[in-house]
Chains A and B, each alone.
Chain A
C-alpha cells in the first residue's frame, strides 16, 4: 500500500467556528445583542458586569453567563444585579468554547432578552482562538496591570472590538501612564475604540453604557436589513450538516 497525501485547507477549530456561526445567527434572529468580556484574572470583569447588568436591567432585559474553572462565586455576584446569571464551570479548561455557551443557554429563550453578556475565564492568551458567536468582544485592562500589558498580549487584543481600561480610580496610586497605555493599545490594534471606567466610583460608566446601546442599535439595524440566513450561508450549512451534527438551534431558541 502506498501512503497517499490528502491536500486540505481546513480550519483546525472548524467545529467551534460552525457552532459559533450557528449561535450568531440565532442571536441575530432573536435580536439579542451578545457581548463577551475577556481580561486577565482580577481586571474587574465581574465588578463592571455587575454594575452594567444593574444599570441596563432598569430599561432592558439582560442576562449573563460566566466561565470559571471552579466556584459559582461570580454568578452569585452577578445575580446581585437582579438579572439572571448562569455559571459555566470549565474544570481544567482555560477558556470558553462555543459549545459551552450553547449548552449554558439551552433552557433560556433568546427572544426574552435584549443584552447577553458572556464573561470569559480570566486569561489573556487562551480565549483568542475561540469564537463564541458574540457580536462584540470587549477586552479589559486594569490600570494596575501596567502600561505595557497590551504589547505583551497582541494576539488577544487583535480579536477584540473595544478596549476598556478599568479601575481608573487607582490610576494615581499606581502611577499609571495613561498616554503610554493608549499609545501601546493603538500600536498593537490600530483604530480600536478605548473607554476608561471605574466600576467603583462610576466614572466613565455612562459612556460605557452609551457605547453598548449604540452598538446594539447598529446590530439591530444590520439584523433588520439582512435576512437572518443568506442563501450562500444556507447552502454552506446544508453542506456542513453532512459532516457535523447540527448544533441544536431549536434547543437554543425555544
Chain B
C-alpha cells in the first residue's frame, strides 16, 4: 500500500501549489503514472480519497493517465513501445534493450483550480 504514501505526497504538493496560486479548492488533479512505476490505479484512487479529507483536494477528481513503457534498442537504433509485458526485449530484433524511455513517470501534470471567493490582488 505505498499508494497511500504517494497520495499523501501528491496532496502535500497540491496544497502548496494551490496556496501559491491563491486557490481555495482543487476540482481536478491530472497525474501521469508510468506502467512500470509500480502503482495500482484503484489503490491510488482509494488512498487519495482518504488522504484528501479536510484538504483543498477533498472531493476532487483524480485523473490518472497511464504512460506505456517504451525502450530504445541500440542495435536497431529505434524506440519501441512494449504492450503487455515488462520484459525488456526489443520487439524488432528480439534482443534485450536496457534503455527505458518512458513508463517510470510519477508526475503531477495539471490542476483545475477554483479561485478564492474573495480573491485579493
Q: A12-B107, A158-B104 are in contact. Are A190 and B98 (CB under 8 A)?
A: yes
Where chain B touches its partner, the secondary structure class is: mixed
* Residues of chain A contacted by B113 (CB below 8 angstroms): 3-6
Distance between Cα atoms of A154 and B34 in the complex (Å)? 13
Q: A14-B13, A151-B87 are in contact. Are A158 and B36 (CB under 8 A)?
A: yes
Q: A94-B2, A154-B87, A190-B98 are in contact. Are A8 and B12 (CB under 8 A)?
A: no
B36–A186 CB distance below 8 A: no
Distance between Cα atoms of A71 and B46 in the complex (Å)? 29
The residue in chain B whose Cβ has the minimal distance to the Cβ of A156 is: B38
Interface assignment of A9: CB less than 8 Å from any CB of chain B? yes
Chain B count of residues within 8 A CB distance of the other chain: 38
Q: A12-B31, A94-B1, A188-B86 are in contact. Are A155 and B9 (CB under 8 A)?
A: no
A97–B5 CB distance below 8 A: yes
Q: A12-B106, A190-B88 are in contact. Are A126 and B36 (CB under 8 A)?
A: no
Q: Which of A5, A95, A191 contacts B112 (CB 8 A)?
A: A5
* Residues of chain B contacted by A11 (CB below 8 angstroms): 106-108
Given contacts A1-B115, A3-B27, 18 further A-B contacts (CB under 8 A): A1-B114, A1-B119, A3-B114, A4-B112, A5-B110, A6-B17, A6-B112, A8-B111, A13-B9, A14-B9, A93-B5, A94-B2, A95-B5, A129-B6, A129-B37, A187-B88, A189-B98, A190-B96
